[in-house]
C-alpha cells in the first residue's frame, strides 16, 4: 500500500478555497442587489448558473462511474477531482430552493396556459417539486456512497470496495441517464412548454459530461505545478484525457446537429419556432460562435497528438470549452426570455461567476481533505510506475 500522507494536497488548496468563497459570495451579493431592481432577470441568470454548476457536478459523477466500470489510468489521476466535483451536489440541492421560489419569473407554465391535459398534469408545481427532490435524492445517494467507499479504500485498500463501486456504477449510470433526461425536460425544455425534442435530455447529459471533462483537465494541469501531482503526471495521462475531451466534443456536436437535422427535416409548426427564436435578431451569431468555438476549433486542435500531450496547451483549450459550455446553455435558455431579440444582462455573467466561486470553494474543501490520488486502489501502482508491467 502507498503512503497516503505523500499525496495530500498542499496549502494552495486552502488558499483557493477561501479566495473562491469570498469572490463568489461578493459577486452573488451584488447579484442579489440586482434582484431588487429586476427580479425576473435575476432568476433568468440564476437558472443559467444553476444549470451550469449542477451539470458540472453531475458530469463529474458520471465520469467517475464510467471510470469505475472501464478502469484505466486516465481516470485514476482525475478520480479525486471527479469525486470532489460530485460531492458539491448537496450545495446544488440547496441552491435549487431559490430557483423553486423564483419559478413564476422563469416558467410560463406556472401561469394558466392552454396546454393538453396530460401536459398540465406533468407540469404541476407539486409534481415538479417532487421530481426535483427525487433527482437530488438519487444523485446525492450515488455521490455519497461512491465518495464514502473511495474514502474507505484509501484507509484499508480493501479489494471488495472496488467491486462495490463497480456494482453501484452500472445501475448508477442508468439512473443518471433517466434522472438527467427528466431534469433537462423539467428545468430547460419546459421553458417553452409547447416544444419537445426526444434527444434533448441526452444533449444536456453530453454537455454535462463535456463540461466536467474540460474542467478536470484545467484543474489537473494547474495542480501539476504543485506536488504530489507534479511528479506523477506524465504526457500519456494528458494524452488520454485529451482523447476523451475530443470524443465528448464530438458527441455534443453530433447530438446538437441531430436535433437540428430532425427538426429541420420535419419542418413542423410545433418544433420550428424554437429554432427561429434562436436564429433571429442577433441570436444567430451566438449559434455561429458555438459552431466555431464549441465544435470546429476544439475538434481540429484536438486532432493534434502534440497538443493533447502538452498539459498547458490542452488546459487552455479545455478552458475555452468550459466557457463555450456556458455560452451553449445561454443559447438554449436565454432566447426563451427574449425570443428573436438578442439580450444579455450583466447578471448573466455575474450569477454563474458568483455561484461558481461558491461551488469551487466547496470543491476545494472536499479536495483538500483526502489524498489527491486514490492511494488504496490496487491499480494505482500502474499509474505511478508507468508503462510495461
Partner 1 sequence: MLMGRTKPPIYGLLAEFDTPARLVAAAERARKEGYRCMDAYAPYPVEGLAEALKFHHTRVPLITLIGGIVGGLAGYFMQYWIAAINYPLNIGGRPLHSWPAFIPVTFELTILGAALSAVLGMLGLNGLPMPYHPVFHVPRFALASRDRFFLCVEATDPKFDRQTTQRFLESLDSRGVFEVPH
Q: Which residues bind partner 1 (CB under 8 A)?
A: 257, 260-261, 264-265, 267, 303, 305, 386-389
What is the three-state SS of 104-117? HHHCHHHCCCCCCH
Cell numbers 495530500: residue: 8
Nearer to partner 1, 94 or 296 (CB): 296
Q: In the complex, what is the shortest distance from the CB of residue 256 to partner 1, in angstroms, rounded to a whole number?
A: 12
Nearer to partner 1, 235 or 282 (CB): 235
Cell of 58: 453531475
Nearer to partner 1, 3 or 389 (CB): 389
d(CA 179, CA 184): 8
How far is CA 234 from each of CA 2, 216, 260, 337, rounded to the nearest angstrom? 19, 16, 40, 46
Nearer to partner 1, 103 or 239 (CB): 239
What's 290's DSSP letter? I
Q: In the complex, what is the shortest distance from the CB of residue 279 to partner 1, in angstroms, rounded to a whole number?
A: 13
d(CA 206, CA 224): 27
Q: In the complex, what is the shortest distance from the CB of residue 92 to partner 1, in angstroms, rounded to a whole number?
A: 36
CA proximity to 84, closest of 326, 353, 360, 319? 360
**Straight-line distance from the first to the last Cα atom of the chain, in angstroms, rounded to the nearest whole number:** 17
Contact 271, 195 (CB under 8 A): yes
d(CA 133, CA 217): 31
Beta-carbon contacts of residue 159 (< 8 Å; ≥ 6 apart):
378
Nearer to partner 1, 232 or 364 (CB): 232
Burial label for 126, CB within 10 Å (0-12, 13-18, 19+), is exposed
Q: In the complex, what is the shortest distance from the CB of residue 389 to partner 1, in angstroms, rounded to a whole number?
A: 7
Q: In the complex, what is the shortest distance from the CB of residue 236 to partner 1, in angstroms, rounded to a whole number?
A: 9
Q: In the complex, what is the shortest distance from the CB of residue 261 to partner 1, in angstroms, rounded to a whole number?
A: 5
Nearer to partner 1, 230 or 266 (CB): 266
Q: In the complex, what is the shortest distance from the CB of residue 254 to partner 1, in angstroms, rounded to a whole number?
A: 9
Cell of 303: 486532432
Nearer to partner 1, 114 or 265 (CB): 265
Amino acid at each position: 500500500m502507498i503512503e497516503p500522507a505523500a499525496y495530500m494536497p498542499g496549502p494552495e488548496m486552502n488558499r483557493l478555497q477561501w479566495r473562491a468563497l469570498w469572490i463568489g459570495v461578493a459577486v452573488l451579493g451584488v447579484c442579489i442587489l440586482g434582484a431588487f431592481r429586476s427580479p425576473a432577470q435575476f432568476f433568468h441568470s440564476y437558472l443559467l448558473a444553476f444549470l451550469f454548476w449542477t451539470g458540472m457536478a453531475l458530469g463529474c459523477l458520471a465520469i467517475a462511474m464510467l471510470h469505475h466500470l472501464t478502469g484505466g489510468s486516465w481516470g485514476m489521476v482525475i478520480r479525486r477531482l471527479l469525486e470532489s466535483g460530485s460531492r458539491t451536489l448537496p450545495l446544488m440541492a440547496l441552491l435549487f430552493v431559490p430557483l423553486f421560489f423564483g419559478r413564476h419569473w422563469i416558467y410560463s407554465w406556472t401561469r394558466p396556459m392552454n396546454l393538453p391535459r396530460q401536459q398540465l398534469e406533468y407540469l404541476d408545481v407539486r409534481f415538479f417539486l417532487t421530481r426535483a427532490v427525487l433527482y437530488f435524492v438519487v444523485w446525492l445517494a450515488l455521490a455519497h456512497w461512491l465518495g464514502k467507499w473511495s474514502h474507505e479504500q484509501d484507509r484499508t485498500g480493501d479489494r471488495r470496495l472496488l467491486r462495490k463501486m463497480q456494482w453501484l456504477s452500472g445501475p448508477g449510470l442508468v439512473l443518471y441517464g433517466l434522472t438527467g433526461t427528466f431534469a433537462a425536460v423539467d428545468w430547460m425544455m419546459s421553458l417553452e412548454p409547447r416544444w419537445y425534442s426526444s434527444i434533448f435530455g441526452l444533449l444536456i447529459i453530453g454537455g454535462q459530461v463535456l463540461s466536467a471533462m474540460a474542467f478536470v483537465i484545467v484543474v489537473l494541469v494547474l495542480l501539476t505545478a504543485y506536488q504530489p501531482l507534479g511528479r506523477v503526471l506524465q504526457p500519456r495521462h494528458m494524452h488520454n484525457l485529451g482523447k476523451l475531451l475530443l470524443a465528448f466534443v464530438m458527441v455534443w456536436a453530433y447530438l446538437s446537429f441531430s436535433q437540428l437535422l430532425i427538426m429541420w427535416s420535419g419542418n413542423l409548426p410545433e418544433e420550428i419556432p424554437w429554432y427561429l427564436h434562436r436564429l433571429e435578431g442577433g441570436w444567430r451569431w451566438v449559434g455561429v460562435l458555438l459552431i466555431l468555438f464549441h465544435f470546429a476549433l476544439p475538434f481540429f486542435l484536438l486532432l493534434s497528438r502534440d497538443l493533447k500531450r502538452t498539459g498547458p496547451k490542452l488546459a487552455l483549450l479545455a478552458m475555452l470549452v468550459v466557457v463555450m459550455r456556458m455560452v451553449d446553455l445561454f443559447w438554449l435558455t436565454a432566447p426563451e426570455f427574449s425570443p428573436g431579440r438578442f439580450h444579455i444582462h450583466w447578471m448573466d455573467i455575474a450569477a454563474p461567476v458568483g455561484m461558481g466561486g461558491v461551488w469551487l470553494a466547496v470543491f476545494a474543501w472536499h479536495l483538500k481533505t483526502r489524498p489527491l490520488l486514490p492511494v488504496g486502489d490496487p491499480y494505482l501502482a500502474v499509474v505511478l510506475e508507468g508503462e510495461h508491467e
